[in-house]
Amino acid sequence: MTEPSAHAALILDFANTLDVEAGTDVITTVDELSAWARDRGLPGEVDETTHVRAISLRAGLRARLLLNNIGVPDTAEAAEAARAIEQAQSVLDTVPLRARLGPEPEPGGPLLGDGLLAAIGVAWALVVAAGEWQRLKQCPDHACEWVFWDGTRSRTRRWCTMSVCGNRAKARAYAARRRRAPD
């Protein structure tokens, strides 16, 4: 099994600031987002506009990562994913050229440009450039939707945990087959 790079781990952490199963969101306010960023060594100066853009970026990334797992987000989520990726690219375009051409920077390092969105945008761009984005997936169980790292050689892991979400899906499929089966 492979392990995610620091950049992929940052994307995982950012995407999982929303926990659907627990019903929690750790970045619902500007102050919470600032604290989350500072705790990770990222630029923590966040205003209302940055907060709104961060929530939008997170929703788009989560929708894109669901597509990585053969999930089908609704049309609005798919459009949000496209906007988020464009946003990440536009943020990357503002990062100094030396940050993109130099050695791979650490998340939150001095070459990531200014601001939290730039740090996340660069992390996403580096994850895409390294091909790691295909290993980032969102659990297709709508009760869960946790974003996870697929470290399998074949990159075919479907569930965040087979013992919980995979088991739920298998139990639902079994029950559906039993309902359809003639007596």
User: Which residue, 104, 110, 74, is CA-closest to 8?
Assistant: 104
Residue 160, CA atoms < 13 Å, CB-side half-sphere = 20
> How does residue 100 score in pLDDT terms, banded at 50, 70 and 90?
very low
Q: How many CB atoms lie within 10 A of CB 100?
A: 16
Structure tokens at 124: 């996403």
Structure tokens at 68: 């990585």
In three-state secondary structure terms, 151 is: coil
In three-state secondary structure terms, 47 is: coil
Q: pLDDT tens for residues 122-170?
A: 888 889 889 898 899 998 888 899 999 999 888 888 778 766 686 776 7
Q: Hey, what domains does the chain have and what are their CATH numbers?
A: 6-180 (1.10.3300)
Please, are residues 52 and 117 in contact by the beta-carbon 8 Å criterion?
Answer: no
pTM of the model: 0.76
